[in-house]
Structure formats: structure tokens, C-alpha cells
Amino acid sequence: MNRSSRAVIALLVLWLLLLPNVASQANRNNPFIWQVVVQYELGKSNQSATYLTDTSVKQYSQDFQTVFLYDDLYGHNERLLLDFGDGCPGTSMDNVQALNGNTSTSPSMMAQPSIALIQRGGRCTLWSDKVNQIQALSNQYHLNVGAIIVFDNATWPSVELITESTDNSSYPTWDASLPTTRNINNMSDNDIANHSNGIFLAIFFVPNVYGNTLKDLIHNYTLTSSGKPTQQYVQIAMFFSESTFSLDQDDNNAGGSGNADGNYWDVFTGDHAYIAYLLAAGGALVVALFFFRWCRTSRTGFGSRNDGSMDDEQAIGSGNIPLTESTHKMSLQKLDELCPVQEYRDAQETKNTICAICLEELNLHDMIRVLPCHHGFCVGCIDVWLTKKASICPICKYDCDHVQQTPPSQTDSSSTNAPTITTPPPTHPPNH
């Protein structure tokens, strides 16, 4: 077994080890929660929102579980929490008002979508009864409830609730799986799966300790310290992947806020598999490169490297391009003059059909650069190569920095010796 094949195996193992770890962060079944206190001026609607930055935290628990996802996967980050008690049939709007300091129909609350907080158990048992009651109240009073958080009525000493600063990009991982008593799939009062037809909001389950944390926050509803009477709410957002969490604090007044200290959170949501896909693609590329190299070395033998007989194909990916004659780099400006970015329209315009740097097939409408030697590359690949590595074509070693130099003599002479003059100007400037 030679060195390259050992490297391939080591990389494969590393890659396989890496993937499950990344995927084991927050996911669809075990979301994490971003929680922040937000204040509104009494009588004004959402226009006056002020986020209390000190209160902005991420909450993690293995007991956070998705009961019913509905279509809640993307970006519902401005929902305010309303306490609905046990949410059982018989719960009235007066009850909801009393539980929320008479704020549940205030202008600010009415301008925003809400999340209903309810306790498991109480006057009724089945979760579907609670959900139906909340949907009915929400419809009747236009409360715009978009999700429900059910918190456990039982307390378990081993429940972990981890509070992290939003600056902390780490996330906790769980050693063991959730005990069956705390797993929503083992709760006989959870009949949501059998009643999902009439449900049009998302349902999440949290442990008792977190339910009480939220209730404490809700009950701090009014505050007049700033001089202006304000209404205080808790804003909750579910996240299904750490990679989608991004706080963009912006001090300008965009968005119509009159607050000098207004902060804005932009949440870029996406599928939690994004990182895993990226890693998988990266891993596959590395493995492919090593494999390709290993195949070539075993074919030509170790002793016969770089004996001058290397053809174009062998030069690709071998890293054996002699840089002695041209180690200088090109400026992006010169690159733009020499071979402007163009759309790949016709397989005839390049001698190669695969970008030799990333080994991706060139597809119609890809943005490419065609070097004077008529070799074509993805813009992103060749720009880095020519501006950071060396000004020579990765395939034929034609030195692009010598504009006056004629392209090297071609065996398959489809070239016209007229460097890129026929290429159309770029439709838009390349990205910097």
C-alpha cells in the first residue's frame, strides 16, 4: 500500500467521522430557540419595537422537540409569546387577557404573529383538544397564532437547559438519547399525529423548566422606566440548524423604527443539511483528486515523474507544473482586459470541456474565462489561480501575462491566434 492510497483511506475515514457530528447539531426534531425581550411603546404598533440586547440568548435542550412542523421551517422570527394557560376547551379570551396582563389585544401584539405557550395536562388530556381550542380563539380574535409551545407538566431532575450567548457559535451535543419518558413519541396524550388534518400551526414541546422561564419573562409585561409607557413581550424563534443562525446588528434606522438603539436581527434560514452537503461535496472532491492522482502515479510508476513527457491531462491536478519560468501573478484588471468573463455558450469556444481546476464539467450559461490559449475555466477557479498563484494556464502553461506572446503552437489547431478579441464584453462586472 503506497502513501497516496493510505491518504485516501485516512481522508475517507475523517470525512465519515466529520459528517455525523455536523448533522448532530440542532435539527428538525431537536430545534434550539432564540429568545429576546422586545418592548413596544403603548398604543403604537410594531413600528416602535426595541430589542433589549442584553436579554438575547440561545436556549438549547435535548427535550426541545418538534411535535408538528407544519410549514414552520423558514424564518418566522418576529413572533411574540402569549400565555394560554393549559389551553383546554373552556379557555376564554378573558382568561388569555388575564394571563398576559391585558396585553394580548394591544396594537403591538395584534400587529405581530404570536406563539401560544400552554402547559401539558391540566383540565384536559389530549393535545389535539388544546390545539383546537387555540386555533378557535386565534381565529375569533385575530390573534394570528402561528405556533404552539407545549411545556411539560412533569419535572425531571436530569433535564438540561443550556443558555448561551448569541455570540457563541458553539452548540452543545448530547451524549445519550432522550429517555423514553421524556420523548414525545412515548406520551400517550400526544395524539397530534392522528389529528394533523385540521392543524394549521406548528407545535413544539419543551421541558417544564423552560416553560416556567418563559412565563416569568411574560409576566414582566409593563415597564415605564424609560419615561414612555412601554409594553414588554418575549420574542421566540425556532432554529433547526446552527448554520442558519445569524444576528445582524445594525444601528441605522431602516425598517421605520424611531429608536436610536433599534437593533435588527436578520435570520438567514435554510435547510440544515446545507453544511453537510457542502462537506460531503468537499470531501468527495478531495477524495476524487487523491484518487485521480493515485491512479496516475500507479500507472506511470513512482520513478518516472516529471521526465518531460507529461501531457496536458497529466499536468492537470498533478501539481507538477513548473513555475520557474513564470512565478509572477496577474492583476484582476489585466485579466479582465485579456479575457473578460463570458457565458459558456458553445463547446467549440474552449478546447477543454472540464474546468481543470475544480474538475467540474463546463455547462452552458456558466460564467467562464477563456484564456488566449483557448482553454476555458470557471471564473472563480481561474481568477484565484492567475491572481494568487501564477499567470500561466493550468493546462498548457501558456503565460497569460505576456500579451504579446503568441499562443503555443497547437496540434489540434482550432485556435485562430487572435486572443479573445472575438469574445463579447462581460454583461456585468465580475465579483470582487
Ligand X SMILES: *[C@@H]1O[C@H](CO)[C@@H](O)[C@H](O)[C@H]1NC(C)=O
Total length of the chain: 432
Per-state percent for the chain, helix, strand, coil, to nearest 5: 30, 20, 50
Q: Which is nearer to ligand X, 29 or 314 (CB)?
A: 29
* Shortest reach from residue 395's CB to ligand X, in Å: 47
* Shortest reach from residue 164's CB to ligand X, in Å: 5
- For residue 94, give the 3-state DSSP assignment: helix
* Shortest reach from residue 213's CB to ligand X, in Å: 8
* Shortest reach from residue 223's CB to ligand X, in Å: 6
Q: Which is nearer to ligand X, 176 or 418 (CB)?
A: 176
- For residue 342, give the 3-state DSSP assignment: strand
* Shortest reach from residue 73's CB to ligand X, in Å: 19
> How would DSSP label each residue in 50-78?
EEEEEEEEEEE-TT-EEEE-TTTTS----
* Shortest reach from residue 273's CB to ligand X, in Å: 22
CB atoms within 10 A of CB 247: 16
* Shortest reach from residue 45's CB to ligand X, in Å: 5
* Shortest reach from residue 181's CB to ligand X, in Å: 8
Residue 287 in contact with residue 8, Cβ under 8 Å? yes
What CA–CA distance (Å, rounded) separates 116 from 114? 6
- DSSP code at position 430: P
The C-alpha cell that represents 232 in the structure block: 414588554
Which contacts of 183-186 are long-range, i.e. CB under 8 A and separated by 24 or more positions? 183/65, 184/65, 184/67
How far apart, in Å, are the Cα atoms of 236 and each of 14, 88, 93, 151?
A: 37, 22, 22, 14
Residue 244 in contact with residue 58, Cβ under 8 Å? no
* Shortest reach from residue 228's CB to ligand X, in Å: 15
Q: Which is nearer to ligand X, 206 or 370 (CB)?
A: 206
- Residue at shortest CB range from ligand X: 121
Q: Which is nearer to ligand X, 81 or 382 (CB)?
A: 81
Cα 172 to chain centroid, rounded? 18
Look at the alpha carbons of 82, 88, 89, 92 in this order and tell me if their dihedral is positive or negative.
Answer: negative
Q: Footprint of ligand X on this chain (CB under 6 A)?
A: 45-46, 78, 101-102, 111-112, 120-121, 125, 153-154, 162, 164-165, 168, 170-172, 180, 183, 185-186, 189, 191, 194, 216-217, 220, 223
Largest CA distance in the chain: 88
What CA–CA distance (Å, rounded) separates 127 from 120? 8
The residues that bridge with 40 in the sheet, in sequence order, are 231
